[in-house]
Amino acid sequence: MLKRLLSSRETLLFAAIAALLGLIATRFPGFVTPSSLAGVLNDTSPLILLAIGQMIVILTKCIDLSVAANLALTGMVVAMLNTALPGLPMVFILAVAIGLGTLLGMFNGILVWKLNIPPIVVTLGTMTIFRGVIFLISDGKWVNSHEMSAAFKALPRGVFAGLPMLSWVAIAAVILFTVVMTRTTLGRSFYAVGGNPHAATYTGINVGKTQFWAFTISGALAGLTGYLWVSRYAVAYVDIAGGFELDVVAACVIGGISIAGGLGTVGGAVLGALFLGVIKNALPVVNISPFWQLAISGSAIIIAVALNAQASRKKGRIILKSAEQAA
C-alpha cells in the first residue's frame, strides 16, 4: 500500500509542489505564508475549473482546444448583458453563463459524435469561430469595470472563512466531480470509453454519446469560468484568456491524465493546475520573465507525456511477460 502510494503520480506531484515551495521559501519566506498561498489558490481557481472539464474530455480519447474561447465568449456575453441590464439578478447571469457554455460544449460534442470529425479538428475550428463571434457582437470594443454593476463584480471577490468565493467555487467543483468520477455510472463510462472503446461498446456504452457528455460538462465549466473571470478582473475583450488552453492541457498532462485516454483523476488535474499556479505566481517573485511560463508549460507537457508513455510501455511488457510464463 505504501509502495503504491509513493509511486503514484499524485503523490510525486504533491512532493514536487512542496519542494518547489520550499525552494522559493529559502529566498522569499513571504511567498509561503497562509495569505500568500490562499492568493495562489485563488489565482489558480479558473485553471482548476477548466482542467477538471478538460480531464473528462481527455479521458474519452478526445481533447477540447476551445475551452478558453468558450470562456471568453461567455464572459463577453454576460458582461454585455450586465451593461445593458444592470439590474438583472445574478442568478440569471449565472444561468446564462453556464447555459451558454453548455450549449457551446454540446456543439463540439455533436460534431464529434454525429459527424465523427476528429476532436482536435472540431475544437480548433470552434475555437476560431467563438473568437470571431466575440468580435462580431462586441465590434472589437472592451467592456470595462465602470460599465459593470457592483453586484456583477462582487460575487467572486466575496470572502468566506478567509477564502474568496472564487476559490470556494473551485473547491466545490473538485468535490462534486470527484464524486461523479468515482461514484456514478457516467463517471465510470468516461474511463471505460477511453480505456477500451471497443469493450465499452460491447457492454452497452454508447461511445459517441459519452464523448458528447464529456464536451458538455467541459463547456458548462468553461461558461461558469467565463463569468468568474470577467467579473473578477472586471474587463471583457476579444482576446481574453488567449492561449489559456495550453495551460489547461498542461495541467492535465502534468497531473497524470493520459492523452491516450482512460487514465487520470480529478486530484491529478488539480495538482497539475496548482503546480503551474505556483510557477506562474513565483516567476515575478524570483525576477524571471512571465514569458518563461510558456516555455515551462511546454516543457512540462513533453516531460509528462514521455513519463506517461514510459509507464504504458512498462505495463505492456509485464502483460506480455506474464502471458509467456503462463504458456
Q: Can you give the pLDDT at residue 297?
A: 67
pTM over 0.85: yes
Q: Can you give the pLDDT at residue 133?
A: 97
Q: Can you give the pLDDT at residue 2?
A: 47
Write the DSSP symbol of residue 32.
G
Rounded to whole angstroms, what are the CA distances from 191 to 63, 229, 252? 15, 30, 15
Q: Please state the three-class secondary structure of 140-190 as a single string.
A: CCCECHHHCCHHHHHHHHCEECCEEHHHHHHHHHHHHHHHHHHHCHHHHHH
109 touches 211 (CB < 8 A): yes
Q: Can you give the pLDDT at residue 311?
A: 65
Copy the grid coordinates of residue 291.
Answer: 514569458
Q: Where are the alpha helices (DSSP H) in 28-118?
A: 34-59, 67-84, 90-114
- Low-confidence residues in the chain, pLDDT < 70: 1-7, 290, 293, 297, 310-327
159 forms bridges with which residues in the sheet? 164
- At 94-142, the pLDDT tens digits run 999 999 999 999 999 999 999 999 999 999 999 999 999 999 999 999 9
Domain boundaries, the chain: 39-242
Q: Can you give the pLDDT at residue 16?
A: 87
| Cα–Cα distance for residue pair 222/69, rounded to 1 Å | 9
Look at residues 4, 48, 56 and name the one whose alpha carbon lies nearest to residue 263: 56
Copy the grid coordinates of residue 33.
Answer: 505564508
- At 2-42, the pLDDT tens digits run 445 545 778 888 998 999 899 888 888 889 999 999 999 99
| Cα–Cα distance for residue pair 319/243, rounded to 1 Å | 40
34 burial type by CB count under 10 A (0-12 exposed, 13-18 middle, 19+ buried): exposed
Q: Is 110 helix (H, G, I), strand (E, B) or coil?
A: helix
